[in-house]
Amino acid sequence: MKRYFTYFALVTMLLSLCALPCQAGRYVEDSLKVDGHMRQFVMYLPDGLQPNAPLVVVLHGYGAGIWRENVMIGSADRHGFAVCIPQGLKDPEGEPSWNVGYPFQKGWKVDDVKTLCTIAREVQKRYHLSRLNAFLTGMSNGGEMCYLMAYSNQYTFRAVAPIAGLTMAWIYQEMEATRPIPLMEIHGTEDRVSEWTGDMENKSGWGAYLPVPLAIGYWVAKNRCTRQEVDTVASLKGDEGHPVIRHRYSSPTTHCDVWLYEVVGGVHSWHKDDIDTGEEVWKFFSRYVQ
């Protein structure tokens, strides 16, 4: 009888383990010193990752930290790219963040454009990844960092995908992108942290920022997009979710497209309840893999 119960317990345990979600790959904690600061990051490397695979860097929002189980992990397993998840330094308010020039970050000398480019290039060497195919995405403050990167005329990231991100007014007024770069934005129309309609009067304290359609319009013009496709897809949650209007602008000359996913009624989030955010972002990035 004792053997029977032992065998039964073993079988039950094995069946329970089989029912758990399986994740192929491993996380590696790593770091790199940039401008006197030790910058921490985590790498996710799918099983069977091939040499010269693409790299996607994923940035957290304001006050957050390294999110290992982020929206790009499942897509990395399916499509065979590496994911780098860096940690922002603490700003003058004591919060982990990316330096995008918020009013309360005034005087903070951290250059996160340089830092992220340096990390990406070093990661490409350390993990034998493609030197050409690095991409950047991030949510909220991480999304703002994507816009700042796009304006900064860098050559490390081939495309950027801000999620619930903003173009700060100072970036728009003081900087000029000298070349096109593919850009995708996913944004909820009822986002009360990063308002769809903008906040040029700085009522929220984050600093003045552009309405999302205007911010996207800059890149539509910069990338010389002349074709537009618009359609609507239902939420993954059906009638309980938020429909997504996809505005896709393409350019036959620069081949640097601009995609805007307008989540109707969506709030401040990665929007993974309404769409497979990781798959949609990779669908965009994969167009630019060389």
pLDDT at 19 over 60: no
> Residues near 233 by Cβ (< 8 Å), separated by ≥ 6?
243, 244, 246, 275
Per-residue pLDDT, averaged over 109-136, amounts to 98
* High-pLDDT (> 90) share of the chain, %: 92
So what's the pLDDT on residue 217?
Answer: 98
Q: What is the DSSP letter of 163?
A: E
Strand locations in 125-182 (E):
134-139, 159-163
Per-residue pLDDT, averaged over 17-24, amounts to 46
So what's the pLDDT on residue 23?
Answer: 54
So what's the pLDDT on residue 5?
Answer: 32
Q: What pLDDT digit, counting tens, does each position of 65-106 carry? A: 999 999 999 999 999 999 999 999 999 999 999 999 999 999
pLDDT at 260 over 90: yes
Measure the CA–CA gap between 151 and 166, rounded to whole angstroms. Answer: 13
Q: What pLDDT digit, counting tens, does each position of 203-239 carry? A: 999 999 999 999 999 999 999 999 999 999 999 999 9
So what's the pLDDT on residue 21?
Answer: 42
pLDDT at 11 over 80: no
pLDDT bin (cut points 50, 70, 90) of residue 24 is confident
pLDDT bin (cut points 50, 70, 90) of residue 152 is very high
pLDDT at 14 over 90: no
Residue 186, classed as helix, strand or coil, is: strand
pLDDT at 27 over 70: yes
pLDDT at 288 over 60: yes
- The distance of Cα 132 from the centroid of its chain, to the nearest Å, equals 18
pTM of the model: 0.91
pLDDT at 59 over 80: yes
So what's the pLDDT on residue 74?
Answer: 97
